[in-house]
DNA sequence: CTCTTTATTGGAACCGGTTCTATTTATGTA
DNA sequence: TACATAAATAGAACCGGTTCCAATAAAGAG
């Protein structure tokens, strides 16, 4: 392997000169030309580790995702990857596999890799998260969830819920079922739910039942099989498209027809919701945009500039076949 | 930041002793106990970069995936991530975004990160691939595709095709349509296709039409909209489940019913194929197993042990609602 | 044609570890 | 008790870069 020393020897200069040449310091035309040639000839590239030993950090951004098979995470990831590339940064992805411990652990692991910044897609923010973030002394950007006092980019969850609730209300339905997720998840379990409920609140002849289910397709499916036969609801709103898909499948299994027996809607804008029959009404989130903004912001943070503590992106209702007037 | 020097000073020993302590060299009970305490107290962890400077490689395995939104890639990824963790290795994921150039580029990038080994999910193996693999001097394991002279773990593609073909033949259909992908893809475009065709070959009253389409859902969908109205086929086999889903959607759009008008089958065992209606007959690939074996093998290679050049995993036909006898 | 000022350059120290060698200390054996 | 052998340790060199400082060379001013 060719090192800076080899280059220096070949060129007959000190290695500090080569280092300056590589990093844009003052070097004469003559030596620059000579080095240009030698570097090209030898195909020399500096050893990243030697560089990072002294440098405070690398040209890498670490990203922690909750699971590898999440549609939304992958959409965001793809966008972040592309944007980061434009800025000559490398993306280092680690998987927390739905475990809070692994999330924390990965923060430290990435810090050890001396990434310049960390983008964290968490589901909940615990004290341990805050402690880790404070300790690593690397900018951390939260994605999707809001963390008091931490830099955050998220979706307008409350508004999404409210939009969906209002849409449903205007269709004239009286009995609603909202399939939510655990409350510890602030973005989905609280804000999104609250938006829906607030929109549907007024009016005495309207009832909204809320049942808690899981992000997992399989679990939601099994629960739906139990709930559907007895529900009075003519409009079912699910906290995620994944849950909506599970309800759809359960309906098929039970031989119930949508939207004849009940309307169905979800959140997320997952690609599959437009493929199934009937296609499912959903709120489409701008994942690509989220990724783009996230990269802009983390790089700002990395370069020491301040950012607004919290940025929330708007979303859009997408009406499809699964919802009809009462 | 606390360094090995600090630890050494506190303990009143040389840093070489601390290094030995950390790496399991010979250290007396007394010093070991003292160091145990000091390390715990200070929360010291060695600087990875300093370690990697001398070490030939790190405890990281790099993985290059073709796209971030591929179901199969994610399944494999999840499994590899878990297995690698068990072995105290870190997984570094990079996305080639369907570009051959980026695949090559990522091989070099990962090499610069001094990963111990690289797992490459490529679609085709070019000369540039071989050149890069030879140059980086790091074990590279091919996943999914077979590369002459390179270490490979793949699926039994031909057998999968043959199984599906035989199954279809036994249902008594006469006219088949096989939606394939570009031939440069050896695993899917050649082997899988050949298996299907070979199974369906014999018999004079049987016809098989082959049309080439794309891995992309959208493109396959648009093509299906054109093909379906005029096809005579009563059994459509798609090279991937993704394509099968596209055909299903096109059928819905065109108001054609499956399996009444034609049977439909795919390959892959994607989760969504069991969710849609009708659920789609497919060949289920053991992604988890593939990941597990891949980790075993790459670690063998990393430790210098030889492996069989080519390992191919078996798969299994999964019969669902979308296919019926003629 | 000197004297400053500025642009280049070389050398040494350093980043935080690992590893080799020589030395000291402990242990076992005759 | 003396001697051989094994275990533990210190010190120095090294990995491949960056950075600081002093020295030299080139350029501009008087």
Q: What pLDDT digit, counting tens, does each position of B200-245 carry?
A: 987 778 999 999 999 888 899 999 999 999 999 999 999 999 999 9
Query: Given this model, what pLDDT does residue B43 score?
Result: 85
The protein residue nearest nucleotide D15, judged by CA to C1', is B54
User: Tens of pLDDT along A115-129?
Assistant: 889 999 988 899 989
Q: Does residue A55 have a pLDDT over 80? A: no
User: Tens of pLDDT along A156-179?
Assistant: 999 999 999 999 999 999 999 999
Share of chain B above pLDDT 90, in %: 62
**Is residue A26 very low, low, confident or very high in pLDDT (cuts 50, 70, 90)?**
confident
Q: Does A112 touch chain B (CB under 8 A)?
A: yes
- CA distance, residue A112 to nearest chain B CA (Å): 7
**Is residue B94 very low, low, confident or very high in pLDDT (cuts 50, 70, 90)?**
confident
Query: Given this model, what pLDDT does residue A52 score?
Result: 82
Asked if residue B162 and residue B142 are part of one domain, the reply reads no
Asked if residue A255 and residue A217 are part of one domain, the reply reads yes
Query: Given this model, what pLDDT does residue B281 score?
Result: 98
Asked if residue B291 and residue B151 are part of one domain, the reply reads yes
Asked if residue B265 and residue B216 are part of one domain, the reply reads yes
**Is residue B162 very low, low, confident or very high in pLDDT (cuts 50, 70, 90)?**
very high
CB B301 within 8 A of CB B141: yes
Asked if residue A188 and residue A108 are part of one domain, the reply reads no
What is the average pLDDT across B140-168?
94
Q: Does A14 touch chain B (CB under 8 A)?
A: no
SS3 call for A308: coil
Q: Does residue B275 have a pLDDT over 90? A: no
Rounded to 5°, the CA angle A224-A229-A231 comes to 85
Q: Does residue A210 have a pLDDT over 80? A: yes
We report the CATH number of the domain holding residue B186 as: 3.40.50.2300
Q: Does A75 touch chain B (CB under 8 A)?
A: yes
Protein-covered nucleotides of chain C (CB closer than 7 Å) are: 7-12, 14-20
Query: Given this model, what pLDDT does residue B105 score?
Result: 85
**Is residue B298 very low, low, confident or very high in pLDDT (cuts 50, 70, 90)?**
very high
User: Tens of pLDDT along B30-68?
Assistant: 999 999 999 998 888 888 888 888 777 778 899 999 888
User: In this structure, is residue A92 part of a structural domain?
Assistant: yes
Q: Which residue matches tokens 């003052």? A: A26
Mean pLDDT taken over chain B: 91
Inter-chain touch A75–B82, beta carbons under 8 Å: no
Q: Does residue B171 have a pLDDT over 90? A: yes
Q: Does residue A31 have a pLDDT over 80? A: yes
Q: How many domains does chain A have?
A: 3
Residues in A touching B90 (Cβ below 8 Å) = 94, 109
Residue that wins the pLDDT comparison between A269 and A111: A269
In the listed set B249, B266, B285, which residue is the last one of a domain according to the structure? B285
Asked if residue B230 and residue B118 are part of one domain, the reply reads no
Q: Which residue range is the domain that position A23 belongs to? A: 4-46
Asked if residue A169 and residue A148 are part of one domain, the reply reads no
User: In this structure, is residue A94 part of a structural domain?
Assistant: yes
Inter-chain touch B113–A75, beta carbons under 8 Å: no
Query: Given this model, what pLDDT does residue A47 score?
Result: 86
Inter-chain touch A114–B276, beta carbons under 8 Å: no
The protein residue nearest nucleotide C11, judged by CA to C1', is A14
Residues in B touching A94 (Cβ below 8 Å) = 90-91
Give CA–CA dist A309/A231, Å, rounded.
42
Q: Does B1 touch chain A (CB under 8 A)?
A: no
Q: Does A6 touch chain B (CB under 8 A)?
A: no
Tokens of B119: 């797992």
User: In this structure, is residue B321 part of a structural domain?
Assistant: no
Asked if residue A72 and residue A31 are part of one domain, the reply reads no
Q: Is the C-beta atom of B15 closer than 7 angstroms to strand D?
A: yes
Inter-chain touch A78–B95, beta carbons under 8 Å: yes
We report the CATH number of the domain holding residue B12 as: 1.10.260.40
Q: Does residue A113 have a pLDDT over 80? A: no
Query: Given this model, what pLDDT does residue B274 score?
Result: 87
What is the average pLDDT across A305-316?
89
Q: Please return the burial class of B20, using the count of CB atoms within 10 Å of its CB with bins 0-12, 13-18 and 19+.
A: middle
Asked if residue A123 and residue A105 are part of one domain, the reply reads yes
Between positions 242 and 261 of B, the ones with CB within 8 A of A are 245, 248-249, 252
Residues 26-45 of A with CB under 7 A from strand D: 44
Asked if residue B79 and residue B177 are part of one domain, the reply reads no
**Is residue A181 very low, low, confident or very high in pLDDT (cuts 50, 70, 90)?**
very high
User: In this structure, is residue A323 part of a structural domain?
Assistant: no
Residues in B touching A68 (Cβ below 8 Å) = 74, 77-78, 81
Rounded to 5°, the CA angle A229-A160-A189 comes to 60
Mean pLDDT taken over chain A: 91
Tokens of B163: 């199984």
Chain B's closest residue to A137, CA to CA, is: B1
CB A214 within 8 A of CB A187: no
Q: Is the C-beta atom of B40 closer than 7 angstroms to strand D?
A: no
Residue A80: HSE in the Cβ half-sphere, 13 Å Cα cutoff: 33
Q: Does residue A274 have a pLDDT over 90? A: no
Chain A's closest residue to B250, CA to CA, is: A275
Asked if residue A303 and residue A275 are part of one domain, the reply reads no
- CA distance, residue A160 to nearest chain B CA (Å): 25
Q: Which one of A25-34, A238-247, B64-73 scores highest in mean pLDDT?
A: A238-247
**Is residue B289 very low, low, confident or very high in pLDDT (cuts 50, 70, 90)?**
very high
Q: Is the C-beta atom of A15 closer than 7 angstroms to strand D?
A: yes
Query: Given this model, what pLDDT does residue A59 score?
Result: 83
């Amino acid at each position: 392997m060719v090192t800076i020393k080899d280059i220096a020897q070949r060129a007959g200069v000190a290695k500090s000169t080569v280092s300056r040449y590589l990093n844009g310091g003052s070097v004469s035309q003559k030596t620059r030309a000579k080095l240009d040639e030698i570097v090209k000839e030898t195909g020399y590239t500096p050893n990243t580790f030697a560089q990072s030993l002294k440098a405070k950090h690398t040209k890498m951004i670490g990203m922690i995702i909750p699971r590898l098979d999440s549609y939304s995470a992958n959409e965001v990831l793809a966008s972040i990857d592309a944007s980061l590339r434009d800025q000559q940064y490398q993306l280092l992805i680690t998987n927390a596999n739905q475990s809070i411990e692994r999330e924390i652990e990965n923060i430290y692991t990435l810090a050890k890799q001396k990434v310049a910044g960390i983008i964290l897609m968490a589901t909940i923010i615990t004290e341990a998260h805050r402690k880790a973030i404070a300790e690593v002394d690397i900018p951390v950007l939260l994605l999707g969830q809001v963390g008091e006092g931490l830099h955050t980019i998220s979706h307008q969850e409350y508004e999404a819920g409210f939009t969906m609730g209002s849409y449903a209300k205007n269709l004239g339905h009286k009995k609603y079922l909202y399939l939510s997720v655990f409350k510890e998840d602030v973005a989905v379990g609280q804000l999104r739910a609250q938006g829906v409920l607030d929109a549907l609140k007024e009016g005495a002849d309207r009832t909204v039942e809320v049942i808690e289910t899981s992000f997992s397709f399989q679990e939601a499916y099994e629960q739906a099989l139990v709930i559907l036969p007895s529900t009075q609801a003519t409009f079912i709103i699910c906290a995620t498209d994944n849950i909506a898909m599970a309800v759809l499948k359960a309906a098929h299994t039970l031989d119930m027809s949508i939207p004849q027996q009940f309307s169905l809607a979800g959140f997320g804008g997952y690609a599959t919701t437009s493929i199934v029959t009937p296609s499912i009404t959903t709120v489409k989130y701008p994942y690509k945009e989220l990724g783009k903004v996230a990269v802009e912001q983390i790089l700002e943070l990395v370069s020491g500039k301040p950012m607004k503590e919290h940025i929330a992106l708007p979303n859009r209702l997408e009406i499809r076949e699964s919802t009809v007037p009462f």
